[in-house]
Amino acid sequence: MANNYDPIAKHYDLLSWLFFGRTEINAQLELLAYVKPGSSLLIVGGGTGWILDELASRYPEGLCVTYVEPSGKMMALSQKRNLGGNKVRFVQLPIEQFVTEERYDCILTGFVFDNFSHEKAARVIGLLHPLLTEGGHWLYADFHCPPRKGKLWQRMLLRTMYFSARLICKVEANDLPDAEALFAAEGFGVVTSSYRYGGFIKSIVLTALPAALR
């Protein structure tokens, strides 16, 4: 199975900390300011589920969360997290196979798109866009290294990460998709963005623009 994180599920958070400290975590925590009390939230590729602990800490009850994660071992870890009084529906599927009639105030994709080719990233954005409520926010965090513009150390680190990920987890991508261009093509505008780790990690809040502004 492509993008299979089962082999490193138990060690994923430690590996992230060894490489980036709390940077990956903080890049996503910043986005939670756009999750309001009583919100409906779609979390895509939630990994070990630490974000559920954070949500329960900020919002002890009232959230309706759909948590989509393809890795069985990651899902097992996530289901042991503190959910508080929030309603959480766990769905073990690749996101491109996820189908629902629900609509969400926020969609959170934290370090998910780096697994996708440019074409698959475009397809996933197209599939999920209709699931956002009017005025809803897409909360995006991932690595950032524009082709021919990224710093040498960023390009080398990214190359090393992809080599390891393909070897261990069968990650299908070879490079980062141009997510901002894909969101723009889908009719999204950037509300706010920020950088961390020397510009290598980026957080973006997006919302769908009215047709007249596209």
**Can you say whether the dihedral through the CA atoms of 43, 46, 52, 54 is positive or negative?**
negative
Would you state the structure tokens that stand for residue 202, as one six-digit string? 């980026």
Query: How high is the pLDDT of residue 1?
Result: 66
Whether 125 and 186 have beta carbons less than 8 Å apart is answered as yes
Whether 123 and 154 have beta carbons less than 8 Å apart is answered as no
Per-residue pLDDT of the chain (214 residues; tens, 9 = 90+): 677 788 888 888 888 988 899 999 999 999 999 999 999 999 999 999 999 999 999 999 999 999 999 999 999 999 999 999 999 999 999 999 999 999 999 999 999 999 999 999 999 999 999 999 999 999 999 999 988 777 899 999 999 988 888 888 888 888 999 999 999 999 999 999 999 999 999 999 999 876 545 5
Query: How high is the pLDDT of residue 19?
Result: 85
Q: CA triplet 36, 206, 145: central angle to 5 degrees?
A: 125
Give how far Cα 198 sits from Cα of 89, 169, 183, 202, Å: 36, 26, 23, 10
- 6-208, CATH topology level: Rossmann fold (3.40.50)
Give Cβ neighbours of residue 2 (< 8 Å, ≥ 6 apart). Answer: 170, 171, 172
**Can you say whether the dihedral through the CA atoms of 162, 41, 120, 150 is positive or negative?**
negative
Query: How high is the pLDDT of residue 211?
Result: 55
Query: How high is the pLDDT of residue 212?
Result: 43
Query: How high is the pLDDT of residue 169?
Result: 84
CA distance linking residue 89 with residue 55, whole number of Å = 14
Task: Name the residue ranges covered by the structural domains of the chain.
Answer: 6-208
